[in-house]
Structure 1
Amino acid sequence: MLLLSFTVAVVLQAGCGPASSVETRSPNGEFTVKTQVFANTGASSKSNVVKIYLQRQGARETMPILVLSGGSPGSLQPSVTWMSPRLLEITRSSQQTIVFQAVQYESVFVVVEANETAPLRRE
């Protein structure tokens, strides 16, 4: 089911380049987090998508660790903070729905929090 949700998000955004892209390295330089924001300029915010990938230094493959949908244009960019070389914290807008979330990739644990006091929504 999770794979299906992630595939649907990828298909919806096929052929569209990201509106913004940010990379953040882990404190020990072993991993890089890449955040891509695909913002819809139309009336619907449902097609706004944020994809976050984790990549080991020197590796070709990137692993998707979080896909978000929805949110208003001003709240699309999540905050990505390395708490330690093995703990990545991502803070998202509570207006965004979690489509896919990995809790661990290799030795890195991923924690996702909402930045507002609203119920957590999952598809």
Structure 2
Amino acid sequence: MSNAPADTWTEPGWDVATTTDVETRWTSVTLTCRADGCRQLVMTALPKNVTIDQYLHTRFVTDHQNQHRPGRALDITVEWEISACCSVCEDEIGDIVQKDEGVTCRECGTTWDLDGTYGHRAES
């Protein structure tokens, strides 16, 4: 990673490999980040009306390149341990677990969004 001032920084770019299906005209794309030590690999498929240049300007792709700017750090994966009590169970404790894109009480079956909002009782 360079210590150059941010205004003179040049993004590392991507190595691009493509294969186009003749029948569907979809293009399979594999991007490999060129930054030293970066192992970011992106695989996707683009329909015939989307160019690789358009894809290279999407938020995800440009954000990854910007993470290599001086002073930045690459994104990390954060895993959270759920700590929640049930607002429906009589003991107000329940057994809350993550399920799909939300959380569920194993005791009464009530479900909520992952942030604990929009609860729905199992009996309704």
- Return the TM-score normalized by structure 2: 0.32
More strand per residue? 1
Rg (Cα) greater in structure: 2
> Higher relative contact order at CA 8 Å, sep ≥6: structure 1 or structure 2?
1
